Structure 1
Amino acid sequence: MKPSPLNLFVFLLQVSSIQAKVPTFKIGPDAAISGNKIEYDDLECRTAKSCAAPGAVPTLTSDKKYFACCLEGQKLLGSLETAFDCCAAGHDLVGSGEVGYRCCPTGQTYDGLICKPVCENGKVLVDGKCVCAKGPGEGPGAGPIPEPFCTSGLTSGKCYTFTALNGNALGAGEDGIYYARPNDMNFHYGKFQLCLDEKCEGGNPINPQDGVYIRDLYGDVKTGANKGQWLDNSKDGAHIRKTKDFTSAGKFSLSKWPCGRYCLGGAEWGVGPACPSQTPAITFFSQDPQMCTVFDLTEIPCDIKSPANNCIWKSGKNQCCDKVDCGHL
């Protein structure tokens, strides 16, 4: 039996009214998913669709009434009254009809431009945080030491700070997630050791084509626990955080950028902000291997008790550039 023109019109009207960041379809009962394909009842017909984008699979809303092609691990969130979008774990679809809707970290809201924390108990939003008074000052920031032509200036086994263009330092918060934020008692910059393998043998040059593993020698902010763990391989909106499992470590890349900076990318994927936030976390972008995030890298001691630290300051007028002989150490 063919569907009547009226029923067909109503169905097309329902589909066309869906507001979505990704193509979203209303489905009937008895939907069956196999790999990147989905079959479902559509009025009085059995409909089959496939997801063509690499890594995308049919993903249902929680009420199983709609589906879209999302990257594996993402959730399809939203409704006909709001919008639909594919969101990474730890995110909700938030916003309004006036400003639009966007995936933001759970507990935050969207103002049409960026995700922001929801402040309660009279607190105000300052530098992306809910505070009672003026927010803390910015973290440390300094340009990298110039190096000879055609070398990266980076060496395996050495430690560096990563400072964003706005002066905020990359580091782990109390939740173990890596952000570029000002330093305070709940957040401090990371002491990042660059490694070419799990043993992290030192003295090897790091080039843009090399896969680099990053180990944070600092532990949790208040306890110091979980020190020496790796930045993991969270991707497609999931926030990069600490892991002690090397098989889950992210494989990064570092390339020289103009004006003495470096761009942090991935050996296979890109790296960028996970959310439109003033203090964004970072994530791997599996669909864009050229994406990278710019930082100033400053070499710092891996061991603050080492006597070699006496030679960090240079002997000339310019302490960042003039060389000093430390061969006696």
Structure 2
Amino acid sequence: MKNIQLSFFALLLQASSLNAKVYRKNVLTYDVGPDAKITGNKIEYSDPDCDPDLQCVTTKTCTSAGTAPTLSANKKYFACCREGQRLLGSPDTAFDCCAAGHDLAGSAATGYRCCPTGYSFDGQICKPVCKNGKVLVDGQCVCPDGTVDSGDGTCKPKPTCSSGLQAELFDQPSVASGKCYTFTSETGNRLGLRSDGYYYAAPDSMVQRYGKFELCMDEKCTPGQVVNPFDKVYIKDLYGDVATGANRGQWLNNAQNGAHIARTPTFANAGQFSLSKWPCGKYCLGGFQWGVGPACPAEIPAMTFYSQDPQMCVAFTLTEVPCDIKADVNNCIWNSGDQCCNKVDCSGKLK
């Protein structure tokens, strides 16, 4: 009789263990009782699915290096997560260990993954969720065609000019893609690369040389497109290192929030600039989505993108210069006698 009782008790324990809920989507997760206690990489708790007539205390140990028991926010579930991660999810979706600044995103159709807060999961990658009428283009939320960012994150119709204003604008020279320019600041110094690898508007010297910048609307620098204030512009420095000239033809990068704008050979890391006309022939160099301004309180500051201030920009006078100083077409420039005030278009001349 005693053996029968023992066998029956063993069956009860086995049944209790089988009834314990385990969730296997993404990370292995368990139901825990309200008395869960974590010590190091061990957790001890009363099994919430245990028979009420039995006392079922469960102890589990996280054995993977760098992991420890982590409770969900409601303290009803636990999984083995790494330091700094949160256990997110539910029995109806999935459970996952997500880093700070991330949420569990997705759906029953796509599955669920940890994505940056405000992003969605399409089954393969995390994508930003666009708001205020913006659309997703190349992984970024931008205003749709025919509209521009109003500066507060919303989109407004692209401005049009009255006939009088349009004529005035056509009378002013416009910068264009595929052409090269120098950028002269209001101090009279030209923007260029210093030997520390960053860009400043400073006098030319052995450690600073002005830049010859090609304006591009795409990676191939497709020529002939007029640059408008609402256009995304990439800037390629045709010059190389200050001392040797090596590494020429790189992009000004997308350093932001105090990091100094430098160069990158990788187009994906190129800064997305904008150019807006200012009075007296000046242009203000800003960002397509962000602003551009001084990086530090220095006497001669470098530049940085300001992600929180899209209206910030730095004023420059742009002077068109030959992209290739060896090209015979440059002889056309002398034909007018005054290229500054009565500019000649040399694009139709034979090389």
How high is the TM-score relative to the length of structure 1?
Answer: 0.54
Match status 1:241 vs 2:262: yes
Structure-2 change in CA distance of 1:277 and 1:304 (3 Å): same
Checking the alignment, whether the CA contact within 8 Å between 1:261 and 1:295 is kept in structure 2 is: yes
Residue in 2 aligned with 1:155? Answer: 176
Correspondence 1:199-278 to 2 at 5 A: 199-278=220-299
Structure 1: segments with no counterpart, 5+ residues:
1-30, 38-53, 56-146
Greater RCO, 1 or 2 (C-alpha within 8 Å, sep 6+): 1
**For the structure 1 residues 322 and 200, does the alpha-carbon distance in structure 2 shift closer, same or farther, using more than 3 Å as the test?**
same
State how far apart, in whole Å, the 2-side matches of 1:243 and 1:328 are. Answer: 34
Q: Are 2:304 and 1:283 aligned?
A: yes
Deviation at 1:200, TM superposition (A): 0.5
Once residues 189 and 345 of structure 2 are traced to their aligned partners in structure 1, the CA distance between those partners, rounded to angstroms, is: 33
Q: Aligned partner of 1:149: which letter?
A: E
Name the count of aligned residue pairs. 191
Q: Look up the equivalent residue of 1:221 and give its one-letter code.
A: V
% identity of equivalent residues: 62
Identify the residue that residue 311 of structure 1 maps to in structure 2: 332
The structure-2 alpha-carbon separation of the partners of 1:323 and 1:173, relative to structure 1 and needing over 3 Å to count, comes to closer
Residue of structure 1 in register with 2:219 after alignment: 198
Q: CA deviation at 1:277?
A: 1.2
Give the Å deviation of 1:279: 1.0
Distance 2:200 2:349 in 1: 40
Partner Cα separation in structure 2 for residue 148 and residue 229 of structure 1: 36
Higher Cα Rg, which structure: 2
**Contact 1:285-1:291 at 8 Å conserved across structures:** yes
Report the CA distance between 1:311 and its aligned residue.
Answer: 1.5
State how far apart, in whole Å, the 1-side matches of 2:272 and 2:331 are: 33
Check the 8 A contact 2:84/2:100 in 1, yes or no.
no
Q: Distance in 2 between matches of 1:178 and 1:217?
A: 14
Match of 2:341 among 309, 313, 321: 321
In 1, are the aligned partners of 2:332 and 2:349 still within 8 Å (CA)?
no
The alpha-carbon deviation at position 168 of structure 1 amounts to 1.3
Preserved CA contact (<8 Å) 2:294 2:301: yes
Q: Is the 1:265–1:290 Cα contact (8 Å) retained in structure 2?
A: yes
Q: Relative to 1, partners in 2 of residues 1:183 and 1:288: Cα closer, same or farther, differing over 3 Å?
A: same
3-state DSSP of counterpart to 1:313: helix
Q: How many angstroms does 1:180 deviate by?
A: 1.1
Mapping of residues 37-186 of structure 1, within 5 Å: 149-151=168-170, 153-186=174-207
Q: TM-score, normalised by structure 2?
A: 0.51
Deviations 1:257-280 (A, max 9, x none): 011100000000000000111211
Distance change in 2, residues 1:238/1:150 (3 Å) = same
Find the residue that maps to 1:149 and give its secondary structure: helix
Q: Distance in 2 between matches of 1:167 and 1:296?
A: 9
Residue 322 of structure 1 deviates from its aligned partner by 2.1
Match of 1:292 among 302, 306, 313: 313
Runs of 4+ in 1 over 3 A off after TM superposition: 31-34, 323-328
Change (3 A) 1:244 1:181: same
User: Residues 33-61 of structure 1, C-alpha deviation per residue, up to 9 Å, x if partnerless?
Assistant: 86259xxxxxxxxxxxxxxxx99xxxxxx
Contact 1:314 1:322 in 2 (8 A): no
* 1:13-34 Cα deviation digits (max 9, x unpaired): xxxxxxxxxxxxxxxxxx9686
Give the C-alpha shift of residue 325 in structure 1. 7.0
Q: Deviations over 1:160-190 (max 9, x none)?
A: 0011100111111112111111100111000
Query: Using the alignment, how far apart are the partners of 1:299 and 1:265 within structure 2?
Result: 19
Change (3 A) 1:224 1:259: same
Q: Give the RMSD, CA atoms, in angstroms.
A: 2.4
Cα 1:323–1:272 change in 2 (3 A) is closer
